[in-house]
């Protein structure tokens, strides 16, 4: 399914849907299995770097195969799409949701490409997420030198000009691993919520305190992204298995505990953002 109804229901119900970045088959299986166990809608997403590694067709095929037998709604989302062409490739492959991130570019350039992406996707009946302001840190191929907080009034202008279905906002979060305790401006989030009616999205959520994530959801965030912490959980489980069983040569042997570790992390986050039982 698309993210359109998922996020509309979340906004009406006062919870958020988890969007989990996947890197391989085991992570696709883990995320959907965790969502099924907790009866939660779920969004799987891939970044440009991930798609450069395996391709949009491969990730669509894996997700579609797993979602076909799932008991919950599953969406496949392009995360931080960095060009109109990549958005078009994702749509052509079968993705059910697209993000274009032009936040690194001058405002007018961001607006111009965002308009093209939304026009294309809406013509196909697909929802679009856009970003205004800059989430800091580094994730995948995305690197930011700092955080440019989202200006509420500019957000109004941006949404009016580009017509997105959801908006990713910058309130102090960062991609990757936090160094120290981040300052998340939840009051800014509330001010954006007051003037922007579409669902809001929180990026850079890996490593945030549970109470902060819950507060953001309470103040209007309807989609919360998790990536780095899933990669950490997966890799840690593989390392631990190989340390204990150094003679392992079958990838399935360490794929099982890695899949379990990712699923447990997903379930913990679903509980925090309130989507359990909402599928």
Query: Which residues are designated catalytic?
Result: 79
CA distance 44 to 79: 9
- Residues 80 and 19: beta-carbon distance below 8 Å: no
C-alpha distances in Å from residue 199, one per residue of 4, 85, 187, 217, 223 = 9, 25, 17, 11, 8
- Give the angle subtended at the CA of 68 by the CAs of 67 and 73, to the nearest 5°: 50
C-beta atoms surrounding 158 within 10 Å: 23
- Residues 233 and 261: beta-carbon distance below 8 Å: yes
Take residue 32 and report the two structure tokens written for it: 């959907």
C-alpha dihedral, 114 to 172 to 31 to 63, nearest 10°: 10
CA distance 265 to 226: 10
CA distance 264 to 39: 14
């Amino acid at each position: 399914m698309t993210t359109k109804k998922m996020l509309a229901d979340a906004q009406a119900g006062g919870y958020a849907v988890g969007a989990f970045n996947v890197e391989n088959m085991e992570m696709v299986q883990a995320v959907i299995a965790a969502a099924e166990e907790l009866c939660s809608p779920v969004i799987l997403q891939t970044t440009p770097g991930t798609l450069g590694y395996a391709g949009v067709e491969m990730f669509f095929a894996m997700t579609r195969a797993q979602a076909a037998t799932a008991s919950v709604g599953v969406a496949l989302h392009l995360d931080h799409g960095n060009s109109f062409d990549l958005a078009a490739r994702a749509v052509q492959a079968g993705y059910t949701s697209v993000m274009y991130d032009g936040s690194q570019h001058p405002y007018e350039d961001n607006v111009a490409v965002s308009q093209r992406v939304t026009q294309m996707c809406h013509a196909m009946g697909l929802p679009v997420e856009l970003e205004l302001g800059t989430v800091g840190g580094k994730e995948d191929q995305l690197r930011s030198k700092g955080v440019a907080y989202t200006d509420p009034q500019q957000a109004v202008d941006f949404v009016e000009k580009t017509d997105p279905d959801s908006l990713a906002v910058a309130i102090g979060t960062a991609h990757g691993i936090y160094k120290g305790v981040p300052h998340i401006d939840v009051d800014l989030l509330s001010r954006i919520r007051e003037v922007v009616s579409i669902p809001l999205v929180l990026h850079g959520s890996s490593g945030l305190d549970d109470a902060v994530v819950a507060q953001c959801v309470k103040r209007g965030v309807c989609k919360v992204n998790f990536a780095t912490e899933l990669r950490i959980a997966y890799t840690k489980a593989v390392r631990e298995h190989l340390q204990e069983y150094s003679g392992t040569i079958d990838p399935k042997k360490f794929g099982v505990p890695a899949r379990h570790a990712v699923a447990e992390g997903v379930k913990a986050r679903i509980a925090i953002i309130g989507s359990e039982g909402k599928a």
